[in-house]
Amino acid sequence: MATPGTFISAVGHTGLIVWLIVGWGFDAEPLQIQTMDVSVISGEEFEQMRARTTPDPGAADPEAPVPPEVDETPPPPPAEEEPTETAPPPEPVEQPVEETPPPPPPEPLVTEADDQPPPEPSAPADPPPTPDIAVSEEATPPQAPTVASQITAPPPPDANVDDIVREEVVPDDSAEPDVVEEEQDATAPEETTTAIVIEDLAPRTSVRPSTRPSRPVPQPEPEPEQEESDVAEEAPAPSEPETSEDDVAAALEAALSATDAPAVAAGPPMTGAERDSFRISVNRCWNVDPGSVAARVTVEVGFSLDREGKVQGNDVRLISSDGDQSATNTAFEAARRAILRCQSGGYELPADKYDQWKDVVITFDPSGMRLR
C-alpha cells in the first residue's frame, strides 16, 4: 500500500520524466517554458477528476456518422455548373489568342475544317492521358455545401432560407373580405446534406494539347474596293468615350496630312528575294544597245499588273526621263518591250501580296552598260 509520500514521489518523478522527454530532451533550441501552477491533490480527488473527464462509451461517435440512405433521397440538381463529362473538348479556335497563330482570315475555313469528321473516328474516345485527379468519371454533381445530420431537400426556388418553414401567403380574391391575411414570403430550411463535400479543384477535363496551327488556306482576295472599305473600317478609333466621331475624323485627316503618306498597300511587304526574282525576270528581256544614244538615258516607267501577273492592257507609261525626246522614246520602247516580252503568261509573284505589286514603277538605268 503506497503511502501518500510514495504516491507524490511517483507522480513527481513521472511528471519530471514526461517533461524531460516531451518538452526538453529533443530540442536543441531552448524552448519557451510555460509555467503553470500545480496544486497537490489527493488520490480520491484525482479519481473523481478522472471519472468526470472519461467519455461515455455508449455515446455516438460524431466522427462516424451513419451513412445516409442516398437511394431514397434524390440528388440535388446541379446548382450552377454544367456536367463536365459531357463538355466537348475545346476546339482549336477556342485556344487563347496568344497561343494561336495570326488571326484567321475572315472566312472561317479552319472552323469548317474542324467541323468535318475527324480522320480517325476513335480520336474523340481516346483523349490524351490526363492526370488521375482529373478523371471525369469520378466527378459527381456538386452537392449542397451545408452538412447536417439529416438531409434536407433543397428549398423551393421562390422560398427564402429560414429555420422555420412557412407557406407563401398571397392575397386571395375569393376569401372573405373581412379576413385580412398578412402577406408573407415562403421560407424553407437551407439545403443540407450528410456528406462532406471536398472542393474539387482539379479540372473536370484535361486540357487538350494545342493543335498545330493550320496553314493559311489561300482564299480569293477580296475586291480592292472592299479592301479599301475594310481598311477604312479598321482605321484606329479611339475608345475614349469622351471623344466624338468628329474628333476621330479630324485626327485622321490631320494625321494623313501630317505624314503626307501615299496610298498604303495592305499586307506583308515583298521580300528581297521576291523583288529580285521580279527584277531578274524583267532585265533578262531588257535589251540594251550600248552604242546607242538611248544607252545614256535613264527612264522610269509604270504599269499595273493583274492578279495573274500580266500587264493590264499592255499599258506601260513613261513617268520620267533624263534624255532628249528621241533618245527617251527609244529608251522607253526598249523598256516597254522588256516588260511586255518577258511577262509571257504572267510574272510569277506572290499571290497573297497582290496589293504590294499590283502597281509597279521600274527605273531602267543603263549607266552601268554604257561603252567605256
Partner 1 sequence: MMKRLLTLLVALLLAGPVLAQSGPLRLTITDGVIEPITFAVPSFEAESPAAQQAASDISRLVVQDLAGTGLFREVPSTAFISQVSSFAQPVAFPDWRAINAQALIVGAVTVSGEQLVVKFRLYDVFSGQELGQGLQFAGTVAGWRRMGHKVADAVYSRITGEGGYFDSRVVFVSESGPKDNRQKRLAIMDFDGANVQFLTDSSSIVLAPRFSPNGDRVLYTSFESGFPRINVLNVANVGRQQLQTAAGEMAFSPRFSRDGRQVIYSLSNGGNTDIYRTDLASGQHLRLTQTPSIETAPSLSPDGSQIVFESDRSGTQQLYVMSANGGEARRISFGDGRYGSPVWSPRGDLVAFTKQNAGRFHIGVMRVDGSEERLLTSSFLDEGPSWSPNGRVIMFTRETQGAGGTSSLYSVDISGRNLKAVPLQGGASDPSWGPLQP
Q: Angle 107-109-113 (CA atoms, 0-180°, nearest 5)? A: 165
Is 66 a binding residue for partner 1 by CB under 8 A? The answer is no
Is 308 a binding residue for partner 1 by CB under 8 A? The answer is no
Applying CB under 8 A, which of residues 263, 272, 273, 345 lies at the interface with partner 1? 263
Partners of 188 in the β-ladder: 161
Residue 301's nearest CA partner among 360, 356, 346, 347 is: 360
Applying CB under 8 A, which of residues 258, 272, 273, 345 lies at the interface with partner 1? 258
Q: Is the torsion defined by CA of 157, 161, 165, 168 positive or negative? A: negative
Applying CB under 8 A, which of residues 17, 169, 250, 351 lies at the interface with partner 1? 250
Instruction: Indicate the residue among 41 and 255 with the shorter CB distance to partner 1.
Output: 255
> Binding string to partner 1 for residues 188 to 227, with x set by CB under 8 A, is what?
----------------------------------------
Segment contacting partner 1 by CB under 8 A, of 174-182, 193-201, 213-221, 359-367:
359-367
Q: Which residues contact 260 (CB under 8 A, 6 or more apart)?
A: none
Is 266 a binding residue for partner 1 by CB under 8 A? The answer is yes
Applying CB under 8 A, which of residues 75, 290, 351, 352 lies at the interface with partner 1? 290
Is 240 a binding residue for partner 1 by CB under 8 A? The answer is yes
CA–CA gap between residue 3 and residue 28 (Å, rounded): 38
Residues contacting partner 1: total by CB under 8 A: 70
Is 317 a binding residue for partner 1 by CB under 8 A? The answer is no
What's the min distance (Å) between Cβ of 226 and partner 1?
A: 18
Dmax over Cα atoms in the chain, in whole Å?
Answer: 144
Asked if residues 328 and 299 have their Cβ atoms less than 8 Å apart, the reply is yes
What's the min distance (Å) between Cβ of 273 and partner 1?
A: 13
The H or E element spanning position 316 is strand 311-321
Phi-psi region of 56 (alpha: psi -120 to 50; beta: other; left: phi over 0): beta
Applying CB under 8 A, which of residues 13, 284, 307, 317 lies at the interface with partner 1? 284
Distances (CA, A) of 166 to 26, 60, 279: 62, 33, 90
What's the min distance (Å) between Cβ of 358 and partner 1?
A: 8
Instruction: Indicate the residue among 184 and 283 with the shorter CB distance to partner 1.
Output: 283
CA–CA gap between residue 111 and residue 116 (Å, rounded): 9
Angle, nearest 10°, between helix axes 272-283 and 325-343?
Answer: 110
End-to-end CA distance of the chain: 137
Q: Is 297 exposed, middle or buried (0-12, 13-18, 19+ CB in 10 A)?
A: buried
Instruction: Indicate the residue among 63 and 242 with the shorter CB distance to partner 1.
Output: 242
Residue 112's nearest CA partner among 135, 91, 130 is: 91
What's the min distance (Å) between Cβ of 289 and partner 1?
A: 6
What's the min distance (Å) between Cβ of 315 and partner 1?
A: 9
Tell which positions 91-130 bind partner 1, by CB under 8 A.
none
What's the min distance (Å) between Cβ of 169 and partner 1?
A: 59
Nine-digit cell string for 283: 532585265
Is 254 a binding residue for partner 1 by CB under 8 A? The answer is yes
Instruction: Indicate the residue among 144 and 360 with the shorter CB distance to partner 1.
Output: 360
Asked if residues 166 and 211 have their Cβ atoms less than 8 Å apart, the reply is no
Is 230 a binding residue for partner 1 by CB under 8 A? The answer is no
3-state secondary structure of 279: helix
Asked if residues 196 and 147 have their Cβ atoms less than 8 Å apart, the reply is yes
Applying CB under 8 A, which of residues 247, 306, 308, 322 lies at the interface with partner 1? 247
Is 345 a binding residue for partner 1 by CB under 8 A? The answer is no
Binding site for partner 1 (CB under 8 A): 235-236, 238, 240, 242-243, 247-248, 250-252, 254-256, 258-259, 261-266, 268-270, 275, 278-279, 282-294, 302, 314, 316, 326-327, 329-331, 333, 336-338, 340-341, 356-357, 359-369, 371-372
